[in-house]
Amino acid sequence: MKRILLIITLVLISSCKSENKNDKSLTTELQEPISEIPQVNDQFQAFIDQFPTKTLPIKINGCTDEILDLPKLDIKLSSEYTKDAEYEHIYGKIPTNGNYISTITLGEADCFVPILNTYKLNGEKIDSKPINIGYCGPDPCYECVENMTIDSEYRIYVADTIKTSDCDDNFNAIAGTEKIKVVYKEGKLTKKGVIKLTNKIVKNIK
């Protein structure tokens, strides 16, 4: 009788160990991390491949001749990812500070408008904003310099430096009547790909 009880006890202990082992295996399996980063799809990759890689910091003057010959976006590749593909030129893809992709295009205007775009890795758009002030352009007795910068810390600064003068009858600037001001915005590109910008700020120089 004692022998039978001993055998039953050993069987029960063995069974409990087996169940505990299975429970631990199941728990470990359930706790394995699941990647939340979507994979880049082929269509989106073809769109991104249009952009040369740029390094930070970058500085763009939309009024300079050096960017006039930049190629336009391929409409077939780009229409799903930007609404004005037929009017945008390719500038580049910049490194990011998170799990997203960021590109810069240049919209057509009197001076090119830098447009910063951010996408999830599957091509879904996160954010898109024109990074400009918009005061530069041809006008008598009017001078304007436009600059947009994104530094290595993902801080954004865009400014139009504007010089105006009174005009004579021939639309020439009258010496001594100059006024100079800077209109600017500041901001940053967050780790989630969100583009944050202040409202326009005016600083009178003269």
- Transcribe 110-142 into DSSP letters: SS-EEEEEEE-TTS-EEEEEE------S--TTE
Which of the residue ranges 17-21, 58-62, 190-194 would you say has the lowest mean pLDDT? 17-21
pLDDT above 90: residue 14: no
Find tokens 């304007």 and name the residue: 144
Spatial CB neighbours of 100, under 8 Å, sequence gap ≥ 6: 118, 119, 120, 121, 126, 192, 193
How many CB atoms sit inside 10 A of residue 81's CB?
Answer: 19
- DSSP class of residue 191 equals T
Peptide bond into 57 cis (omega under 30): yes
pTM for the whole structure: 0.77
| Cα end-to-end span (Å), the chain | 109
Which ranges of the chain would DSSP assign to H, the alpha helix?
2-31, 42-48, 75-78
User: What is the predicted pLDDT for the residue at 39?
Assistant: 53
Highest mean pLDDT among 14-23, 29-38, 157-166 belongs to 157-166
| Alpha carbons 45 and 18: distance in angstroms, whole number | 49
User: What is the predicted pLDDT for the residue at 19?
Assistant: 47
User: What is the predicted pLDDT for the residue at 25?
Assistant: 43
Spatial CB neighbours of 96, under 8 Å, sequence gap ≥ 6: 102, 118, 189, 193
Question: What are the structure tokens assigned to 4, written together?
Answer: 């039978």
The mean pLDDT of the chain is 84
- DSSP class of residue 4 equals H
Question: What are the structure tokens assigned to 205, written together?
Answer: 């120089």
Q: How big is the chain, counted in residues?
A: 206
Assess contact for 70 and 52: CB atoms under 8 A. Answer: no
Per-residue pLDDT, averaged over 142-150, amounts to 94
